[in-house]
């Protein structure tokens, strides 16, 4: 009789594993094709749009691991179920119930998802524990299965069964029984008691750990703790056991205690979740009709690379910037003049190596221009917005001054001519000078004159001269972040102090960097501040600075604020306006050409 019961039990477990395998297979297929909805910031990136294979958005941290775990469990279950004796063999252990539950939470969680399988740490002694420090000190962390809603919602799955928590209760009860047996023993001979003084179990400990971690890891850019959901997929307070008896009331007490703590407790498994429909196409961002130019954009607009006839081949592009003997001699004399030392053979070798690297970089820029011309792209984007005479280009006083100083030192004659024409008030003579040696026809873009903002940074007085518009959320946060970065003072570029004070004035003083982030120069942040304050698109060729300001921005404001609200602005067209437009850099290259005469 016992043998028949055991066989029936094995058969039941076998069918249960078959059902789990089918469920895991289905959810695995859904997860394989799952494309997370990643909100897009109002930033145009010409390099991404020009690539034949666009750069994919960053995936959600932990998603790859979840997919690998599903595949691993499917392989193990599949091999077991294919075995000839599998229906009569002891059941194997599987993580399938947990993986299925986590996948369903991922598919149903409020977007956007921030991460899967993330571990959070609790601060100690008033100092926040970073994950790296906590790991090095062996501080236990708290695992969160799904971080959703831009970090505002944490979800943890617990697949503990009634039978498992009842076993915990029996163990606790045994401590109470042992304690009672010791009650008649003298105090000095009494053993330490393991009996609980307060009601507790593993599920309650998990709940407390989640809440403590949430308190110490507020939502980015705020002091609010994330809301925590604990899904108990197999814990059922109303379940009746095999003898028809109601379950231990402590199961219901546990669930009630979790809710009293402030946890959102969900019981049972989610219904089958269909994979969400593919996200609707992202907003197509357009520029504003007023374009704010930072220093890198000004340099690109006058560069020889932007205006010269394009090479007919890659070989011709590479040959255009092979350092000539004239250039190397000029460079050596210049280095000798600045260092006041005799150049050695090692110095000559270093000059050649540096020149070779610079030449390769310029050749790469020319090839980028061959794929997509800067002025042609600018014309294509802006001409669809309005008649070209209505376009305006602006810059800051600092960007203008630095541009002219840089070009006067290292620009070629034609680059210098374009730079001076760019800022001239004369509308008769100087437009012709700007386009004189360009492959584009005169007046191809209404660039001239580039207007200059009335002050280094916008204030209430200077902003009054511009049309006031209601700024979209991203522009508002970008402006406030830029002001905050500039308010923390600036420092001289650390590696340029020795050349900044050179008495002959041959070297250009390096730009001051912000103390908040040494990767950000003050003039770049000033440009971003002006553009954001006016609701205008800022054109830049400085991708690293954009990354740096976004890093500062994400620490100063919740991403939900940036993504959840409408990001349109600039014109009353209902279209989404880009706050930043990134293009590939174009350096001053005329003096590096192999056919340039020194």
Peptide bond into 19 cis (omega under 30): no
The C-alpha angle 279, 285, 287, rounded to 5 degrees, equals: 175
Tell me what pLDDT residue 98 has.
Answer: 96
The candidate with the shortest Cα–Cα distance to 560, out of 32, 69, 41, 161, is 41
Residue with tokens 């002050």: 455
Q: With a cut of 50, say whether residue 481 has pLDDT above it.
A: yes
Provide the CB-side half-sphere exposure for 475 (13 A, CA). 23
Q: Model's pTM, two decimal places?
A: 0.68
- Span between the terminal Cα atoms of the chain, in Å: 104
Other C-beta atoms lying within 10 Å of the C-beta of residue 535:
23
Contact 131, 118 (CB under 8 A): no
Question: Residue 188: phi, psi to the nearest 5?
Answer: -75, -20
Tell me what pLDDT residue 355 has.
Answer: 57
Contact 61, 115 (CB under 8 A): yes
Write out the two tokens for 75: 């392989």
Residue with tokens 């939502």: 219
Q: With a cut of 70, say whether residue 242 has pLDDT above it.
A: no
- pLDDT, tens digit, 9 for 90 and up, residues 294-329: 999 999 999 999 999 999 999 999 888 876 666 666
107-116, 278-287, 377-386, 422-431: least confidently modelled range: 278-287
Residues making up the chain, counted from first to last: 598
Torsion 71-73-79-81 (CA) sign:
negative
Q: With a cut of 50, say whether residue 119 has pLDDT above it.
A: yes
- pLDDT, tens digit, 9 for 90 and up, residues 154-209: 999 999 999 899 888 888 777 665 555 555 555 455 444 445 567 889 999 999 99
Residue with tokens 């061959």: 370
Write out the two tokens for 348: 């000559």
Question: Residue 156: phi, psi to the nearest 5?
Answer: -125, 135
For the CA atoms of 216, 219, 220, 224, what is the dihedral angle to 10 degrees? Answer: -80
Which residue has better confidence, 337 or 79? 79
Q: With a cut of 80, say whether residue 596 has pLDDT above it.
A: no
Contact 2, 74 (CB under 8 A): no
Tell me what pLDDT residue 74 has.
Answer: 94
- 70 contact partners, CB below 8 Å, separation of at least 6: 24, 27, 28, 31, 99, 103
46-60, 64-78, 583-597: least confidently modelled range: 46-60
Please report the beta strands in 440-545, taking only residues with DSSP state E, as ranges in sequence order: 451-452, 490-491, 513-514, 537-540
Residue with tokens 């340029």: 496
């Amino acid at each position: 009789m016992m043998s028949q019961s055991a066989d029936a039990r094995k058969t039941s477990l076998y069918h249960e594993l078959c059902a789990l395998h089918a469920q895991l297979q289905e959810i695995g297929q859904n997860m394989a094709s799952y494309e997370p909805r990643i909100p897009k910031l109002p930033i145009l990136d010409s390099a991404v749009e020009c690539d034949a294979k666009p750069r994919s958005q960053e995936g959600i941290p932990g998603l790859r691991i979840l997919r690998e775990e599903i595949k691993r469990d499917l392989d193990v279950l599949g091999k077991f179920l294919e075995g000839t004796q599998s229906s009569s063999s002891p059941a194997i252990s599987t993580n399938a119930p947990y993986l299925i539950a986590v996948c369903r939470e991922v598919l149903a969680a409020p977007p956007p998802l921030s991460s899967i399988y993330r571990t959070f740490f609790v601060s100690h002694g008033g100092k926040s524990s970073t994950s790296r420090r906590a790991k090095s000190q062996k501080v236990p962390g708290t695992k969160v299965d799904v971080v959703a809603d831009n970090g505002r919602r944490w979800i943890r799955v617990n697949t503990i069964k009634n039978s498992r928590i009842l076993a915990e209760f029996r163990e606790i009860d045994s401590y109470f029984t042992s304690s009672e047996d010791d009650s008649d023993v003298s105090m000095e001979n009494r053993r330490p008691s393991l009996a609980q003084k307060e009601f507790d179990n593993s599920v309650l400990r998990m709940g407390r750990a989640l809440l403590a971690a949430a308190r110490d890891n507020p939502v980015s850019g705020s002091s609010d703790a994330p809301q925590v959901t604990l899904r108990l997929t197999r814990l059922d307070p109303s379940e009746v056991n095999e003898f028809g008896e109601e379950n231990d009331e402590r199961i219901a007490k546990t669930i009630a205690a979790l809710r009293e703590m402030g946890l959102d407790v969900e019981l049972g498994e989610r219904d089958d979740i269909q994979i969400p429909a593919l996200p609707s196409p992202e907003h197509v961002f357009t520029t504003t009709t007023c374009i704010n130019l930072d220093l890198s954009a000004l340099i690109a607009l006058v560069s020889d690379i932007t205006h010269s006839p394009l090479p007919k081949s890659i070989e011709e592009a590479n040959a255009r910037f092979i350092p000539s003997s004239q250039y190397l001699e000029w460079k050596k004399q210049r280095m000798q003049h600045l260092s006041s030392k005799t150049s050695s053979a090692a110095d000559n070798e270093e000059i050649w190596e540096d020149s070779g690297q610079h030449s390769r970089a310029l050749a790469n820029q020319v090839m980028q221009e061959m794929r997509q011309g800067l002025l042609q792209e600018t014309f294509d984007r802006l001409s669809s917005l309005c008649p070209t005479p209505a376009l305006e280009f602006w810059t800051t006083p600092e960007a203008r001054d630095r541009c002219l100083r840089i070009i006067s030192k290292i620009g070629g004659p034609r680059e210098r001519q374009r730079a001076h024409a760019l800022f001239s008030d004369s509308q008769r003579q100087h437009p012709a000078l700007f386009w004189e040696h360009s492959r584009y026809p005169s007046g191809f873009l209404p660039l001239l004159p580039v207007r200059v903002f009335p002050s280094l940074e916008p204030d209430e007085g200077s902003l009054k001269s511009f049309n006031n518009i209601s700024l979209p959320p991203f522009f508002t946060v970008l402006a406030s972040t830029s002001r905050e970065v500039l308010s923390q003072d600036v420092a001289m570029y650390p590696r340029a102090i020795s050349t900044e004070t050179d008495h002959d004035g041959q070297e250009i003083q390096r730009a001051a960097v912000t103390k908040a982030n040494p990767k950000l120069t003050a003039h770049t942040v000033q440009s971003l501040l002006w553009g954001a304050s006016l609701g205008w698109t800022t054109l830049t060729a400085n991708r690293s600075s954009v990354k740096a300001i976004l890093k500062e921005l994400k620490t100063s404001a919740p991403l939900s604020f940036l993504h959840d609200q409408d990001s349109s602005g600039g014109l009353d067209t209902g279209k989404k306006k880009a706050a930043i437009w990134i293009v590939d850099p174009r350096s001053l290259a005329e003096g590096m050409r192999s056919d340039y005469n020194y």
